[in-house]
Structure formats: structure tokens, C-alpha cells
Amino acid sequence: MESQQQLQGPRRPARIGICGLGTVGSGTVNVMARNGEEIAARCGRPVEIVQIGARRDNPACDTSALNISREIFDVAANPDVDILVELIGGTTVARELVLTAIRNGKHIVTANKALIAEHGNELFAAAAKKGVTIAYEAAVAGGIPIIKSLREGLVGNRIEWLAGIINGTGNYILTEMREKGRTFDGALGQAQELGYAEADPTFDVEGIDAAHKLVIMASLSFAIPLAFDRVYTEGISGITSEDIRYADELGYRIKHLGIGRRTEQGVELRVHPTLIPESRLIANVNGVMNAILVNGDAVGPTLYYGAGAGDEATASAVIADIVDVARTLESAPDQRVPVSGVAEGGQNGGDVLPMDEVVTSYYLRISAHDKPGVMSQVARICSDQGISIEALIQHEPADGEALVPVVILTSRAKEGRLRDAVAEIEALDTVEGDVVRIRVEPLG
Ligand SMILES: NC(=O)c1ccc[n+]([C@@H]2O[C@H](COP(=O)([O-])OP(=O)(O)OC[C@H]3O[C@@H](n4cnc5c(N)ncnc54)[C@H](O)[C@@H]3O)[C@@H](O)[C@H]2O)c1
Ligand SMILES: N[C@@H](CCO)C(=O)O
Ligand code: NA
């Protein structure tokens, strides 16, 4: 029997317009040119780039046969474009561009996590109203199909927690510092040269980029609205090679993690440097690689690993989205996978837990004067807050040094109580300067 498709004849090409021809834009053009035949076969129709919006050509890709406009809004207005691929970054022009394209009935593919995390609720509502879709696989963990996994592969589960290395630049810096003894600034400069960093690299090193990605994953995992302003965010700019060394000595690696967890009291949403036992797979994810552990009640722990940034790795995710959208161009909106992971009215996963209520363990590094009694004072302060000391490193002071670094691993405690204990420790006459505090997660 002839299929409906055979009766209708070959499907017309899916027509895409790409805005932004930087790292990801050029990677997308190159991979589409190289793998065009396979992509068309998987799509069931050719995929044509009908227009590119770019301020200037990019020598990293050949666009000589393509229609380029110097004005990106031309792409949003082009009646021949079915899918607008937003790769300019930022949240101002990109928001306007996407809203205009939606108003003009275009589907959206974007790699822009800032845009989705900060304006996704508005954009998703606009898209739903117009009956178009927004796909954003490249926005989280670059080439790793984590959005697909959360939104489709794991839908049978109640997701309990997830923890991920979701910023390639930050992981590259920490790896270079630990393995090659490089300085923070030297490693960051290299990450920028390699095209991993955001236009403003403070987004990478201060955890903002990871917070963007975490809220997107958490929204899908826990059925909550995108809540970027509720994420506790701490960067890696304060991590020293000394702390990396002490962590090693204790059997841990320091990684910059985004953590989301369902608790009875609410959903934890936090980004911060974290000590992880060195035996965990995720502790050994290095360089620009990303990895996300997702724990579902039915499937148990799952781990997703791959390149979190870079031109072609990110293009891989952009093209996966283009194919997903192109396959369903003729589908009714309610037959597509919901953009936010749940059907309308289904975002009822509860509120975000205040950081003071979060329970975890801590690494503390205290600079103490080499006098008797410091340790008993610290132990008393901790014990008064219900915190016990699980491990301790205290080396002899270096020659001529008056200060001794004391490193402690604590029991699990509420963040608020730990903060009060740290304030009391810092106020001791025998302690100098701020106490370094890094959270510890067993992840098992
Ligand atoms: N680089 C990566 O590895 C990576 C990975 C995942 C996601 N992303 C995201 O992808 C997006 C693009 O990142 P990128 O690394 O390709 O950035 P990029 O800076 O290399 O490229 C952005 C391009 O957009 C152009 N552009 C910006 N505003 C424009 C405007 N108003 N009109 C015309 N052109 C404009 C810029 O000139 C530049 O060529 C960002 O949202 C970023 O967060 C990047
Ligand atoms: N700057 C980001 C790009 C990928 O989202 C990173 O380093 O992870
Ligand atoms: Na991805």
C-alpha cells in the first residue's frame, strides 16, 4: 500500500535562515555543507539555508554560494524562511529578533542560554500563541543531547537530582591549573582563543553561564518555570592552586558544578565550585568537556558526557534541532514535544529552596596563627552549630611563616548554620583573613 507521503510526493525543502556567523554560526554552515546528504536523509527532506544575516563574512566558512544580508531582521521578515536560527548571543537584540520571527510565524532554533534562561517564559508563551516551536539543545552543554534526554528520553522518571559540569571554559581553566600548573588568567586567555568563552568571559568564570544552563535543565527536570533570578551563583575566580592541591590530598577534585535537587521543602538551584570524590566519573571530566549526572527514580543514575563548547560540537546540537523542527513542519502544534517539557498548566514542581536551607558538607581552609588552642576554638564553634569535623589537614608552617593553613572537611550542615560558624571563626584573634569555603558533594 502506498504511504501518505508517496501519495503526496516528495516533501518540500525545509528553509532556514541563520542569524550570526561567529563561532557557532560558521560551525553550523560547515557541518551542514559537509553532512548535507545525511541530514536530508534523516530529515526526510532537504534542508536549505535560504538566507544568512551577518554583519560581515567569516573566513572560517564558505558562504560564497549563499544569500547574505547585513541586516539580521531581514531574515526574520523573509517569507521564505521556515526556521530562524539565532546565533548572535545576548539578550536584547536577540530577544527582539526572536519575538519578531515568532510574530512572523517562524520556528526558532537557538544556542542562546542567556536568552532562554532570562526570557524563555515570555518567548515560550509567544511561540505557543503563534503555534510555532523554540528549540534550544545547543544552549545547554554544547553538543551533548541533554535537552533531548531530559525532555524525551527520561520522561518516564521522576527526576530526583542532577549535577553537571556545564561550563567548558571554567572546566578548562580548572584542569589547566591542576594539571599544568597554569595561572587562572593564562588558562582563561587560552580558552578565549579557542572560542570557548562567552563574549564577556565573566559569564563563564563567575558562574552566570552555568546558572543559565542549570535553570533550563531544572525547568525541564522538575517542571518549574525558568527562574534564573533564584539560582545561587558562585564562580571559580577565587579558587587557588593551594585549594586544588589540598583537595587532591584529601582525595577530591574541585569542579564547578550546577546542581538541581528536589527536596521536600523545595527545589535546590545552585552553581558553585565543589569538591567531588576523585573516584567519581564526573570528577575526571577535564578540559572543555562537560558532563551531567541525572538521577531518575526509575532509571537510577545516568551520565551524559561530551564537548560543552566549540564550533562544530555546538553545531551538532543546532543541526539536531533544525532536523527535529524540519521533521514536524507540517505537524499540528500539539503534536510536537512541548517546548517547556510539559503541556500547558503542567509546571507545578514547587518553589525554589532558599540557599540558607540547603544541606551539604564543606571544605574550610583557615589561616591560623601557629598558637595552641586554635583547633579547639574552631571545633567548639562548629559543634555549637551542630557541625562536626570529619577530616583535618594541618601542615607545619613554612620557614619564617607565622600562619598555618588548617584544612577541614565538615559533616553535612545547613548552609545558614555553616555561614554563622564561619563568621565566628573569622572573628577569632588566632585566625587571619577570610575562611575559604568550598562545598563538598558525594554525588553517589
Ligand atoms: N562558542 C560556543 O562554544 C558556544 C556553545 C554553545 C552556545 N553558544 C552560544 O551561541 C551563541 C553564539 O556564540 P558564538 O560563540 O558563536 O559567538 P560569536 O561572538 O563568535 O558570534 C556571534 C556573531 O553574531 C554577530 N552579531 C551579534 N550581534 C549582531 C547583530 N545585531 N547583527 C548582526 N550580527 C550580530 C557577531 O558579529 C558575531 O559574528 C551565543 O548565544 C553563545 O552563548 C556558544
Ligand atoms: N562559554 C560557554 C560556551 C558553551 O555554552 C562554555 O564555556 O561552556
Ligand atoms: Na546540548
Whether the predicted pLDDT of 291 surpasses 50: yes
What pLDDT shows up at residue 233? 98
pLDDT in tens, 51-101: 999 999 999 999 999 999 999 999 999 999 999 999 999 999 999 999 999
Whether the predicted pLDDT of 5 surpasses 60: no
Whether the predicted pLDDT of 102 surpasses 80: yes
Instruction: Looking at the CA of residue 58, tell me the nearest atom of ligand 1.
Output: 39
Reply yes or no on whether 371 is catalytic: no
The set of cell numbers assigned to 141 is 552543554
- 208 within domain boundaries: yes
Q: How far is the CA of 267 from the centre of ligand 3 (A)?
A: 22
- 189 within domain boundaries: yes
Q: How far is the CA of 183 from the centre of ligand 1 (A)?
A: 27
Question: CATH number, domain at 94?
Answer: 3.40.50.720
- 343 within domain boundaries: no
The set of cell numbers assigned to 231 is 539560582
- 350 within domain boundaries: no
Q: Are residues 174 and 56 in the same domain?
A: no
d(CA 320, CA 310): 16
Q: For 374-402, what is the mean pLDDT?
A: 89
Q: Are residues 277 and 166 in the same domain?
A: yes
- 354 within domain boundaries: no
pLDDT in tens, 152-197: 999 999 999 999 999 999 999 999 999 999 999 999 999 999 989 9
> Active site residue: 180, 213, 255, 371, which one?
213
Domain boundary among 335, 370, 392: 335
Whether the predicted pLDDT of 2 surpasses 70: no
What pLDDT shows up at residue 41? 95
What pLDDT shows up at residue 312? 96
What pLDDT shows up at residue 3? 53
Question: CATH number, domain at 388?
Answer: 3.30.70.260
Q: For 288-296, what is the mean pLDDT?
A: 97
Instruction: Looking at the CA of residue 195, tell me the nearest atom of ligand 1.
Output: 1
Question: CATH number, domain at 229?
Answer: 3.30.360.10
What's the mean per-residue pLDDT of the chain?
Answer: 95
Q: Are residues 374 and 298 in the same domain?
A: no
Q: Are residues 109 and 155 in the same domain?
A: no
> Cα dihedral sign for 152, 154, 159, 163?
negative
Q: How far is the CA of 90 from the centre of ligand 1 (A)?
A: 8
Q: Are residues 435 and 316 in the same domain?
A: no
54 CB within 6 A, ligand 1 = yes
The set of cell numbers assigned to 418 is 555553616
Q: Are residues 163 and 297 in the same domain?
A: yes
Range of the domain at 85: 4-144+312-335
Q: Are residues 112 and 169 in the same domain?
A: no
pLDDT in tens, 123-142: 999 999 999 999 999 999 99
Q: Which residues have CB less than 5 Å away from ligand 3 (the ion)? A: 137, 140-141, 144, 146, 317
What pLDDT shows up at residue 252? 97
Q: Are residues 159 and 280 in the same domain?
A: yes
Q: How far apart are the first and last CA of the chain?
A: 53
Q: Are residues 16 and 43 in the same domain?
A: yes
pLDDT in tens, 264-284: 999 999 999 999 999 999 999
Q: How far is the CA of 39 from the centre of ligand 3 (A)?
A: 18
- 342 within domain boundaries: no
Q: Are residues 175 and 248 in the same domain?
A: yes
Domain count, the chain: 3
What pLDDT shows up at residue 1? 45
- 345 within domain boundaries: no
Q: Whose CA is nearest to atom 4 of ligand 2?
A: 309
Q: Whose CA is nearest to atom 39 of ligand 1?
A: 22
- 100 within domain boundaries: yes
21 CB within 6 A, ligand 1 = yes
pLDDT in tens, 212-249: 999 999 999 999 999 999 999 999 999 999 999 999 99
Q: Are residues 93 and 162 in the same domain?
A: no
Higher pLDDT: 59 or 403? It is: 59
Band of residue 370 on the pLDDT scale cut at 50, 70, 90: confident
Q: Are residues 120 and 188 in the same domain?
A: no
